[in-house]
Amino acid sequence: MSRILVTGGAGFIGSHLTDAFIAAGHEVCVVDNLYSGFRHQVNSSARFIEMDIADRAIETIFLDFRPEVVVHQAAQMDVRKSVSDPMFDAKVNILGSINLLESCRKYEVRKVLFASTGGAIYGEQDYFPADENHPLRPVSPYGICKATVEKYLFYYHTVYGLSYISLRYGNIYGPKQNPHGEAGVIAIFAKKLLAGAQPVINGDGLQTRDYTFVGDVVKANLLALNHQGSGVFNVGTGHETTVNELFHLINSGLGTGANEVHAETKAGEQRRSVLSSAKIKSEMGWAPSTTLKDGLPETLRWFSETYRS
């Protein structure tokens, strides 16, 4: 069993990971500044420290807890926020990550699992689905930051021997997703519909994403924890769903009967995004087991119990 430090462990994906690591018998410490996470989502068996990953005092956590593995989920993950304030985005996502990696180096952490992005890092794709060899052409500061941290991980691995796995996530959805500000479209649509408000679809709604259930992401991280070697791996379903299709699935699933309403296209919004998971299947045996048809009802049940007015 390992001592695992989970950054962003009070958030959506991080809290699911914390639960899974503890269930597997690992000792877990969560660090989160609660900017978008919630204290009540942190497993009661985990240590919790409220701190920003960019705080130089993060070193005290490494000195005390002595993590063997760092699972780095904390991020400024709002693409639009990254466009409006790229300096803040870089401070959190690049400088905060370097701050962590310096402590990993000093305190001999064995491995880092990094939450990267499989959509924003590739930009507009040349082929579908994109594999890990696809050119990186991020068109947002958020995507640029994720690509930059991957380069830093390679540097720390090459120079200091720090093992790492960078998991390039698709569009993750599931219970406990925060529908405010930085959330994915499923959380935003569900919250609005449950409140009796009208969701708005940007542009023609034919833009596609690879919607991946959070439970499958947890399984990928558990496999990566024990994987020998370092590198980058997509975590996606290989299936595209349009925003229009998604809206009707959510609207029908909640029984809300809202109309389909469109607005202007958002400048710079990616048209299509879908990921190949062939590499992680070949090297770790991972494959998505939850289709949107199965994962969406479970997600909507959670939103109905939490937000229905």
SS3 content of the chain, % helix, strand, coil (to 5): 40, 15, 40
HEC-encoded secondary structure of 5-52: EEECCCCHHHHHHHHHHHHCCCEEEEEECCCCCCHHHCCCCCEEEECC
Which residue in 169, 284, 277, 281 sits closest to 226, CA to CA? 284
Whether residue 142 lies in the annotated active site: yes
> Choosing from 35, 122, 127, 142, which is the catalytic residue?
142
Sorted by sequence, the CB contacts under 8 Å of residue 282 that are 6+ apart come out as none
Amino acid at 15: S
Residue 24 falls in which region: left (phi positive, over 0), alpha (psi -120 to 50) or beta: alpha
Q: For residue 120, how many C-alpha atoms fall within 13 Å in the half-sphere facing its CB?
A: 22
Which residue in 282, 59, 273, 244 sits closest to 171, CA to CA? 273
Q: Which residues are catalytic?
A: 142
